[in-house]
Structure 1
Amino acid sequence: MPISRGQRRSARLAARVGGRRVLVTGASGAIGREVAVLLGQAGAELLLLGRHPQELDESARRAATGGGTVRTFSVDLTDPGRLSSFTDRLIDDYGGVDILINNAGRSIRRGTVHAADRPHDYRRTMAVNYFGAVDLTLRLLPGMRERGHGHIVNVGTIGLQLGMSRFTAYNPSKAALEAFGESLAPELRHEGIAVSTVHLPLVRTRMSMPTQAFARLPALDPRQAAHLICRALVTRKPRVSTRLGTLGELLGVAAPRLRLALAALEYRHLPESPAAMRGTENEAATHD
Structure 2
Amino acid sequence: MPTLTRTRLAHRVAGRRTLVTGASGAIGRQLAVLLGGAGAHLILLGRDPEALRETARQVPDTAAAVRVAPLDLTVHEDVTAFTKKLTADLGGVDILVNNAGRSIRRGTAHATDRPHDYRRTMAVNYFGAVDLTLGLLPGMRERGHGHIVNVTTIGLQLGMSRFTAYNPSKAALEAFGQSLAPELRREGVAVSTVHLPLVRTRMSAPTTAFARLPALDPRQAARMIATALVTGRPRVSTRLGTVGELLGVAAPRVRLALGALEYRHLPESPRSARTAAHTPPTDRSRTDPTGPDG
Whether the aligned pair in 2 keeps the contact of 1:42 and 1:66 (CA below 8 Å) is yes
1:284 matches 2:278: no
- Runs of 5+ consecutive residues of structure 1 not aligned to the other structure: none
3-state SS of paired residue (1:73)? strand
Q: Specify the SS of the correspondent of 1:219.
A: coil
How do 1:151-230 and structure 2 match up within 5 A?
151-230=147-226
Aligned partner letter, 2:109: V
Shift of 1:117: 0.4
* TM-score, with length taken from structure 2: 0.93
Residue identity matched to 1:200: L
Task: Quote how far apart the aligned CAs of 1:286 are.
Answer: 5.6
Q: Which blocks of at least 5 consecutive residues in structure 2 are unaligned?
A: 280-285
For 1:158, the aligned partner's letter is I
Q: 1:285 offset after TM fit, Å?
A: 4.0
CA–CA distance in structure 2, aligned partners of residues 228 and 207 of structure 1 = 19
Q: 1:22 aligns with which of 8, 18, 34?
A: 18
Q: Deviations over 1:102-153 (max 9, x none)?
A: 0000000000010000000000000000000001000000000000000000
Contact 1:27 1:56 in 2 (8 A): yes
1:262 to 255, 258, 263: 258
Residues 102-141 of structure 1: matches in 2 within 5 Å?
102-141=98-137
**Amino acid across the alignment from 2:183:** E
**Contact 1:96–1:143 (CA<8 Å) still a contact in 2?**
yes
Mapped partners of 2:63, 2:26: distance in 1: 21
Conserved 8 A contact 1:144-1:193: yes
Displacement of 1:273 in angstroms is 1.3
Any runs of at least 4 consecutive aligned residues in structure 1 with deviations exceeding 3 A, and if so which? 280-283, 285-288
* Matching residue's letter, 1:260: L
Asked if residue 41 in structure 1 is aligned to residue 37 in structure 2, the reply is: yes
Does the Cα contact within 8 Å between 1:273 and 1:284 map onto a contact in 2?
no
Structure-1-length-normalised TM-score? 0.95
TM-aligned CA distance change 1:67 to 1:130, over 3 Å: closer
1:93 aligns to 2:112 (yes or no): no
> Could you tell which deviates more after superposition, 59-68 or 176-185?
59-68
Q: Percent identity?
A: 74
2:56 is aligned, of 52, 56, 60, to 60
Q: Which residue of 1 aligns with 2:283?
A: none
- Distance (whole Å) between structure 2 residues aligned to residue 274 and residue 95 of structure 1: 48
> In structure 2, how many angstroms separate the alpha carbons of the residues matched to 1:161 and 1:252?
8
Contact 2:21 2:44 (C-alpha < 8 Å) held by counterparts: yes
Deviations 1:177-209 (A, max 9, x none): 000000000000000000000000000012211
Root-mean-square deviation (CA), in Å? 1.5
Structure 2 residue aligned with 1:244: 240
SS of aligned partner of 1:66: coil
Could you tell me how far 1:74 is from its partner in structure 2?
0.2
In 2, are the aligned partners of 1:37 and 1:66 still within 8 Å (CA)? no
Alpha-carbon offset, residue 64 of structure 1: 3.8
Match of 1:147 in 2: 143
SS in structure 1 of the partner of residue 10 of structure 2: helix
Distance in 1 (CA, whole Å) between partners of 2:290 and 2:257 is 28
Aligned residues: 283
8 Å CA contact retained: 2:41, 2:63:
no
2:282 aligns with none
Q: Which amino acid aligns with 1:284?
A: D
Counterpart of 1:86 in structure 2: which amino acid?
A: F
Contact 1:150–1:193 (CA under 8 A) maintained in structure 2:
yes
Distance 1:232 1:148 in 2: 19
Aligned to 2:230: 234
Deviation by residue 1:81-110 (Cα, 9 ceiling, x = unmatched): 211221111011010000000000000000
